[in-house]
Structure 1
Amino acid sequence: MSFDDLLKDLQGQKDVQEDPNNISLSKLFNDSFMRKHTRHQSFDEFNEKGNFQVQTYEDVSNILEELYDRHVARETDFRDWNHMLDTAKKEYNPS
């Protein structure tokens, strides 16, 4: 396969729809979602308020669940992290 063919192949992958279970947190919890459902302008701001450093799903899983759920309940429209995550996945629009 030539370099040009490879490049065309890679560019074509952009048209593939994202798997809703593997969307990055920054895309899933975009600023619009955060303003609609929280007291914060961004996901980063939301996490800074709770002194959490979260960039990936693994980061969230490394936090004591009860602590993060309490932060979510206090700072958002949701009772816990799982409800926030489920709603974000339902509302996510990749366009």
Structure 2
Amino acid sequence: MGVKLNGFDDLNKRLKAMSNKANELNGTHQIELGKLLNESFMQANTDFDSLDDMFEKSPFDIQTSDDFEAIPKGQLDEFISNHSKFSSWNTMLETASKKWFAKQLGF
């Protein structure tokens, strides 16, 4: 007498798809800041509706990526700490990156 388990076929397909996606994501990638810090992430974790909203309401004059790069790290970290759940810009980016990768893998 045998038992048929259909759920394992579906699980196996999902695991193979995740494995394939993980292989695609392996290595170094450049991801747009707006994709990492999307509206959903920003609304759930900061005082802002979007990344653009944060830039507009910040005390920094950010018109270009060079402007952003010129912000002293300590000042940016203080701003992030005061207006988000994170202690620093890097901590916010790391958390957003983990969430982005998890989403790409289907979690």
**Greater C-alpha Rg:** 2
User: 1:40 touches 1:46 (CA, 8 Å); kept in 2?
Assistant: yes
Q: Any idea what SS the aligned residue of 1:84 has?
A: helix
- Structure 2: gaps of 5 or more residues: 1-23
Tell me, in whole angstroms, the C-alpha distance in 1 between the residues paired with 2:63 and 2:89: 13
Cα–Cα, structure 1 residues 64 and 38, in superposed 2: closer, same or farther, change >3 Å?
same
1:89 to 90, 94, 97: 97
2:39 to 14, 31, 34: 31
2:21 maps to 1:45: no
Tell me, in whole angstroms, the C-alpha distance in 1 between the residues paired with 2:47 and 2:72: 22
User: Normalising to structure 2: TM-score of the pair?
Assistant: 0.61
Aligned length: 79
User: 1:25 touches 1:55 (CA, 8 Å); kept in 2?
Assistant: no
- Structure 1: gaps of 5 or more residues: 1-15
User: Normalising to structure 1: TM-score of the pair?
Assistant: 0.68
Once the two structures are superposed, the pairs formed by residues 75-86 of structure 1 within 5 Å of their partners are 75-86=83-94
RMSD, aligned CA = 2.6
The percent identity for this pair of structures is 32
Tell me, in whole angstroms, the C-alpha distance in 2 between the residues paired with 1:54 and 1:38: 21
